[in-house]
Amino acid sequence: MPSGPLDVRYARSGDVSIAYVVDSEGERDLVFVHGLAGNLEVEAERPDYRRFTDRLSRFSRLIQFDRRGTGLSDRVRETPSLETRMDDVRAVLDAVGSRRAALFGTFEAAAMCMLFAATYPERTSGLVVYNPIAKGSWAPDYPWAMTLDEWREDLEWWKDRWGTMELVDWLVRSMAPTRVDDDEFKHGVLRQQRQGASPSAAQAIRRMAMEIDIRDVLPTIRVPSLVLGIPRTADEARFITDRIPNSRFVLVPGPDYFISEVGEEIFSEIERFVVGLDDQSEPETVLATVLFTDIVDSTKRAVELGDRAWSELVTKHHALVRRNLDAFRGAEIDTAGDGFFASFEGPIRAIRCARAIRDGVQSLGLEIRAGLHTGECERVDGKISGLAVNIGARVAALAGGGQVFVSSTVKDLVAGSGLDFEDRGVHDLKGVPGEWRLFEVR
């Protein structure tokens, strides 16, 4: 960071102001997002953090921001979802005039960066993740995460200690043992906690981390990726590396593992990776949420009403659907008869759009069914295709009148959204391999 007052600026993301800073004018744009909470001004005053950012800015135009609800950015009442946090990244990129950038994220922020890279490959030149998590809570195929019971105990412990020296001492002993007697370092960490987030905001971020599950997204990340892991999280990091195409794992040597404490060996790895990125090539696939809707008992209603009245009703239905697609940033892909096929950049907006359409058509005396799935899609001339599209159509076909069905992938990606689901069991989807657990949006 340059000496003197920090040049903090603000990007608008919806109705929220996101504080950001830009350091140096390197050829490669690099966005750094760390986990939990920070404060740009406090971090700029910490010698250890200054060393970290100065080293990154030697080879990049370093872009940093305080996530909504933390630091210098607007405080918010609701816990931001991964989808909302991705909107904030795009807002900052737009504000600094960055067409495409490499993303560097840690812990639960790494999950957001991975999801962003899959959803917006045209804005992502590469991906660096440090101690990333793909799933917050334990599963048979993901044994490295805490169980829900362990999470509950952990959340309770953190809640009472956020912003206290007791928590800082524990963190430093765990992640920076050579600094246990460095009072200046520990007071810097303590001040960052207190100025970064309130105890309830920090608790909400950790609760969201518990709910994260982006395992299904990993194979859809098509940008070059560098995965950095410390010894005790190496198996988890290798799990993630094995599932991201064109990715490489690097073990971080200790004994200090705070991101600000990594050694020159890791800085050199990051520099080689970022400098070597091809900023021109763009993947031909993208992570998208597909939505299918159609009118229930349409043939019966058409017979009852007659051709002219039915045609007028369908016209009103189409207008209502398109108004909602515009409102929730959906893209109409195709229309066949009384059915719609649309795509969205995020599943939360897609679900809310489906619910708005379902509720809206009731005023027309109609009932629809809807189905959603999130997966990798091929992009050709503004259209999308692929297995994910077929899955979305099959999910919709299983829904009944007034129901919005989603795949388990969609449910897993909306952690922190406040959306509620009811398990509708395991199903075979015609023409789609395997069994699929479906959920109804309540």
Structure tokens at 332: 């109409």
Q: Which pLDDT tens digits describe the chain residue by residue (442 residues)?
A: 445 678 999 999 999 999 999 997 778 999 999 988 999 999 999 999 999 999 999 999 999 999 999 999 999 888 888 999 999 999 999 999 999 999 999 999 999 999 999 999 999 999 999 999 999 999 999 999 999 999 999 999 998 999 999 999 999 999 999 999 999 999 999 999 999 999 999 998 999 899 999 999 999 999 999 999 999 999 999 999 999 999 999 999 989 999 999 999 999 999 999 999 987 667 788 999 999 999 999 999 899 999 999 999 999 999 999 999 999 999 999 998 889 999 999 999 999 999 999 999 999 999 999 999 999 999 887 788 999 999 999 999 999 999 999 999 999 998 777 889 999 999 999 889 889 999 999 8
CB 90 within 8 Å of CB 98: no
For 298, 354, 365, the CA distances from 373, given in Å and listed in that order, are 24, 12, 27
DSSP state of 25: -
CA distance 5 to 49: 16
CB 88 within 8 Å of CB 68: yes
For CA atoms 51, 262, 85, 31, give the dihedral sign.
Answer: positive
For CA atoms 270, 64, 55, 229, give the dihedral sign.
Answer: negative
For 86, 222, 377, the CA distances from 281, given in Å and listed in that order, are 22, 11, 17
CA distance 68 to 70: 5
Structure tokens at 105: 């994220």
For 10, 364, 366, 426, the CA distances from 307, given in Å and listed in that order, are 55, 16, 16, 39
For CA atoms 88, 90, 96, 100, give the dihedral sign.
Answer: positive
Cβ partners under 8 Å of residue 211, min gap 6: 136, 137, 415, 416
Q: 3-24, pLDDT tens digit by residue?
A: 567 899 999 999 999 999 999 7
**What is the residue whose two structure tokens read 């990776």?**
273
Whole-number pLDDT of residue 4: 63
Q: Which amino acid is at 30?
A: L
Phi and psi for 24 in degrees, rounded to 5?
70, 180
Q: Which of 353, 365, 364 is nearest to 293 (CA)?
A: 353
Q: Which amino acid is at 134?
A: A
CA distance 52 to 263: 9
For 173, the enclosing helix (H) or strand (E) is helix 165-175
CA distance 370 to 74: 35
Length of the chain: 442
Q: 277-332, pLDDT tens digit by residue?
A: 987 667 788 999 999 999 999 999 899 999 999 999 999 999 999 999 999 999 99
In angstroms and rounded to an integer, the radius of gyration of the C-alpha atoms of the chain is 23
CA distance 100 to 18: 19
CB 20 within 8 Å of CB 51: no
CB 213 within 8 Å of CB 115: no
CB 6 within 8 Å of CB 40: yes
Q: Which of 128, 137, 191 is nearest to 163 (CA)?
A: 191
Which domains, ranges and CATH numbers included, belong to the chain? Answer: 9-275 (3.40.50.1820), 285-441 (3.30.70.1230)
For CA atoms 105, 110, 116, 122, give the dihedral sign.
Answer: positive
Q: Roughly how many angstroms between the first and final C-alpha of the chain, as a whole number?
A: 48
Q: Strands 435-441, 421-428: parallel, antiparallel or unpaired by DSSP?
A: antiparallel
Whole-number pLDDT of residue 78: 82
Structure tokens at 338: 């009384």
**What is the residue whose two structure tokens read 């971080």?**
252
For the whole prediction, is pTM greater than 0.85?
yes
Q: Strands 404-407, 368-380: parallel, antiparallel or unpaired by DSSP?
A: parallel
Whole-number pLDDT of residue 3: 54
CB 13 within 8 Å of CB 91: yes
Q: Which of 151, 75, 52 is nearest to 108 (CA)?
A: 151
What 3-state DSSP class applies to 96? Answer: coil
DSSP state of 277: -
